[in-house]
Structure 1
Amino acid sequence: MGNVDLNDIRLFVAVVQAGSFSKAADLANIPKSRLSRRISRLEAGLGTALMDRSRRGVLLNEVGEQFYLRAQQMMQAAEAAVNGVQGRLDTPGGLLRISVSTEVGRGFLMLHLAEYMRRYPDVVLEVEINNKKVNMIQDGIDISLRLSLPEDGNVVARKLTDIELGLFAAESYLQRAGCPESPHELHGHTLLNKYDGPEWRFVCRQHCVHIQGSCKLSSNDANLLGQMVSDGIGIALLPCFDNMLRSGGWVRLLPQWRVDTVPLYLVYYKNRGSTPNVASMVDFLLEKSGRR
């Protein structure tokens, strides 16, 4: 093998399959003279002629026929090896790390994870649920789901949906404290506030009301506030996720007053968007959000 270039074997197979040097040169996009020299070099390295050249094309001798069969098998095996590696690179598999806030994790992501795992069984998920600001590189995060646009210019932020917000309380609280008929009446109620959430700004027709009343409880976790609503502690402005509403038995207050929605973004680094794991999750969540 020391005197034989594997690329020359590939060209030899191409000449035999094309039936002539001229056609093989055109298909390989190289000059016919260069192709002829490469085949001559192969024969010199093997120490024997493989074919007879004529105006009608090429005619393999007995040694050439045997060599062609083995060379063709070798090329097929090499192609299968390359395709196997490429297929592996194109198939999602291995570790995928996701960071998500608590309310989005409970109200959105966990509703779809089982389907993703069944669709991509070779992917191993590591989901970090917290409300802290993450550094995706330092924390080794592939995808982050967040409620605000990132300031990093090296990331891609794909909008998944607008999260609707609503004002909620439990029936036990309303029986005790009464049901507010307008945003102005909220000042006399026990309010539960998400301190890193949006302002309490209500709009109905041409009227806009800001509420900045004192709160009985503040937290960065909507799930905690939701539990306090379920326990009849007070009124909270919370995401209108179906599973949260069903589990809490909440009553929606002032439905005629609109509250600004909160956009949910899927964030990943630009140089990671084409990797199979990241691409599969991005496409999957966009599909579930109706963005595809």
Structure 2
Amino acid sequence: MDRFHELSAFVAVVEAGGFSAAARRLGDSQSAISKSVNALEKRLGVQLLQRSTRSVRLTEHGRQYYERTQPLLEEMAQADGEIMRTTLEISGPVRVAAAATFGRLHVLPLLPALLARYPGVRLDLQLADGVNDLLAEGIDLAIRVSPERHPDAVVKRITSSPLVCAGSRRYFAQHGVPATPQALAHHNCLIYKDMREWHFTGRQGRFSVPVSGNLSSNTVETILSAVQAGLGIGMFNRASLVEPEQGQGRGTLQDAEIITVLDDFIDDTRDICLVWPRRRFIPARVRAVTEFFAEALAPRL
């Protein structure tokens, strides 16, 4: 039998003045309380309580044992309470990383609600494209689009975003709208990182089209700015282009001058994920912030 249960039963009998009252105090049966105290006495090899039909009294051994053990139970209860209060009082630093464009559109608008819910949290938001070394950079939580899998990280998918091919009305007015993916060979395609082949789906299945242009960049923000300026066509996940409409999900394109093309040829999506370092212990404040973004991001996308 569990020693803690034995000790708790014994102290409850002493303080409540009997087995029935102790059972009510602990929410257990009288027989279970009696068995626990009997087991304790058997294990110690001494009688702790003198029982009669009307009363229960401490023996001398029982008095000594109670005086030593009752403070221990109080300290354990106090320790439990401190841990529970620490869990409930969400406070302290939390470092969050997100891709720049995605973070500007979908993370920044959520910060007032997050900090209003947890005013004790001190948030450090890092907005940058690219994969972070979470541990080396002290990142508690990363919000990523199609993150690379890593054995030292936990990845939780919260939703997905379709890919879209987009350009400005001004650009298409000057250069025409491509009717097929192959027509991109005659357009200025803006390259994000090393994505020099764009993938499409047609009647014959999936195929790739080589693309080229006069601008490439390692940030989505640069490609988006160039598209808005009418320089060419870019490939994006749709979440990087939309403004949510009061929680209505996909929302509309944030810039009315940007339109998507070749929609019938694109069926790829990108996972939106929460990523955090694999640890044995995750602070309550980090768990709370992670759960907040898991709940709040999906409806926007």
Partner letter of residue 257 of structure 1?
F
Partner letter of residue 102 of structure 1?
A
Partner letter of residue 254 of structure 1?
L
- Is 1:100–2:108 an aligned residue pair? no
Partner letter of residue 41 of structure 2?
K
The 5-angstrom pairing of residues 1-292 of structure 1 reads 11-12=10-11, 14-17=13-16, 19-20=18-19, 24=33, 26-27=35-36, 30-33=39-42, 37=46, 54-58=52-56, 79=77, 82-196=80-194, 199-241=197-239, 242-243=242-243, 245-247=253-255, 249-271=257-279, 274-288=282-296, 289=298
Alpha-carbon distance between aligned partners in 2 of 1:23 and 1:273, rounded to the nearest angstrom: 35
Cα 1:213–1:54 change in 2 (3 A) is: closer
RMSD (Å), alpha carbons: 3.7
Alpha-carbon distance between aligned partners in 2 of 1:187 and 1:10, rounded to the nearest angstrom: 81
Deviates more, 1:142-151 or 1:73-82: 73-82
SS at 1:134 equivalent: coil
Deviations 1:101-133 (A, max 9, x none): 213212332232322222222221111111233
Deviates more, 1:14-23 or 1:207-216: 14-23
Alpha-carbon distance between aligned partners in 2 of 1:35 and 1:284, rounded to the nearest angstrom: 50
Alpha-carbon distance between aligned partners in 1 of 2:173 and 2:8, rounded to the nearest angstrom: 87
Alpha-carbon distance between aligned partners in 1 of 2:286 and 2:280, rounded to the nearest angstrom: 7
SS at 1:164 equivalent: strand
Alpha-carbon distance between aligned partners in 2 of 1:155 and 1:34, rounded to the nearest angstrom: 47
**Alpha-carbon offset, residue 229 of structure 1:** 0.9
**Alpha-carbon offset, residue 27 of structure 1:** 4.7
Alpha-carbon distance between aligned partners in 1 of 2:153 and 2:255, rounded to the nearest angstrom: 35
**Alpha-carbon offset, residue 154 of structure 1:** 2.8
Alpha-carbon distance between aligned partners in 1 of 2:137 and 2:263, rounded to the nearest angstrom: 40
SS at 2:142 equivalent: strand
Cα 1:144–1:272 change in 2 (3 A) is: farther
* Structure 1 unaligned residues grouped into runs of 5+: 1-6, 40-50, 61-67
Deviates more, 1:133-142 or 1:199-208: 199-208
Aligned sequence identity (%):
24
Normalization by structure 1: what TM-score?
Answer: 0.75
Alpha-carbon distance between aligned partners in 2 of 1:27 and 1:35, rounded to the nearest angstrom: 12
**Corresponding pairs, count:** 266
**Alpha-carbon offset, residue 147 of structure 1:** 2.9
Alpha-carbon distance between aligned partners in 2 of 1:234 and 1:9, rounded to the nearest angstrom: 74
Cα 1:148–1:23 change in 2 (3 A) is: closer
> Does the aligned pair in 2 maintain the 1:190–1:234 contact within 8 Å?
yes
- Between Structure 1 and Structure 2, whose CA radius of gyration is higher? 1
> Does the aligned pair in 2 maintain the 1:15–1:24 contact within 8 Å?
no
> Does the aligned pair in 1 maintain the 2:95–2:141 contact within 8 Å?
yes
* Structure 2 unaligned residues grouped into runs of 5+: 1-5, 23-30, 59-65, 244-251
Cα 1:178–1:17 change in 2 (3 A) is: same
Cα 1:23–1:56 change in 2 (3 A) is: farther
> Does the aligned pair in 1 maintain the 2:192–2:217 contact within 8 Å?
yes
